[in-house]
Amino acid sequence: MTIPWNTETTSDPVDTTYASVLVPLDGSEHAERAIGAGWMLTRCFGAGLHVVAAGVGRAERGWYEGYLDRLDPGPGLAARHLDDDPDVAGGILATARHLAPCLLCLATHGRSRLAAVTGSTFAAVAGRATQPLVAVGPHVAAGRRSDIDRLAVCLDGRAPAERAVRVAAGWARVLGASLSLLTVADPALSQSHMAWDFAASQNRYLPGGDPQAYLAALAGRPELVGLAVDTEVLWSTSVPHDAIGDHLDDDAATLAVATTHGRTGLARTALGSEVARIVHRSPVPVLVVPPRAGH
């Protein structure tokens, strides 16, 4: 099934028919934690599970061949891949293109033996990707689930983040999942008569600056018709990623959804962008929606 995903036009589709799910590995246990999420995604989309070690030089090839041979990712493993491009992110993306239509599923913020998939390389992959990918942060449980029943869409009240709504709607429709539209707002500010004027001045929650009305309007969009959708303003003085993480701890979705705002995708460090912070804090994998395909 192909779904429209650009908020300005329906001419740029995202295809949710995946032939393969690719999990990059770097020899670390942290990177291997993405295998559980990868296995879940293969079950959801009827895809084959692939793993790749990228940036593998001649001296390291024998070690990585043995490592991948010893790896037990469970049922559904289609193939193991090695890539010798010293540009690790480029090698991962090239392997994904070879396996297209392919969904990338990567761990973040772990340690690596040679070519770090986690941290800065993940940021490089996200920054160069033109299709959604799944990020598995350090707080995601290592166990496997067999389906996706709820997607929590993380919104900041600004238009760029709304790209996530279309993508999440398409996934929810294909997977038979429900949707939660979430945003974080400061309760102290909300008590001020200037609160909505302030929000509007920051180009948030337009047109009126009211986060509850904003989410209600999003929930009424045509692409959400027929889906089970709820909305919630997380009133909190905490920073947004902590408020979202706390919410997901208590009322867990299977998948969170967030949008990167620029061509560089996630920042190069864990604290470089709010999306990176959400990925790092989230107890569930995060479907990361990059800027418009081709840009």
Distance CA(101)–CA(244), nearest Å, equals: 31
Domain boundary among 88, 109, 136: 136
Decide which of 68, 103, 136 is a domain's last residue: 136
Contact 80, 67 (CB under 8 A): no
How much of the chain exceeds pLDDT 70, in percent?
78
Alpha carbon distance 135, 122 (integer Å) = 9
Residue 128 within a domain: yes
What is the extent of the structural domain holding 100? 10-136
> For 138-157, what is each residue's pLDDT tens digit?
999 876 677 899 999 999 99
Q: At residue 183, does pLDDT exceed 80?
A: yes
CATH number at residue 234: 3.40.50.620
Could you identify the residue written with the tokens 């800027």? 291
Task: Give the pLDDT mean for 150-168.
Answer: 93
What is the per-residue pLDDT across 209-262, written as a single tens digit (0 to 9) for each?
889 999 999 999 999 999 999 999 999 888 899 999 999 999 878 999 999 865
Count of CB atoms within 10 A of residue 12's CB? 15
- pLDDT tens, 88-115? 999 999 999 999 999 999 998 643 444 4
Summarize pLDDT for 28-38 with one digit per residue, the tens: 888 888 999 99
Question: 294 lies in a domain?
Answer: no
Do 157 and 277 fall into the same domain?
yes
Cα separation of the two ends of the chain = 23
Helix (H, G, I), strand (E, B) or coil at 202: coil
Establish if 1 belongs to a structural domain. no
Residue 64 has pLDDT above 60, yes or no: yes
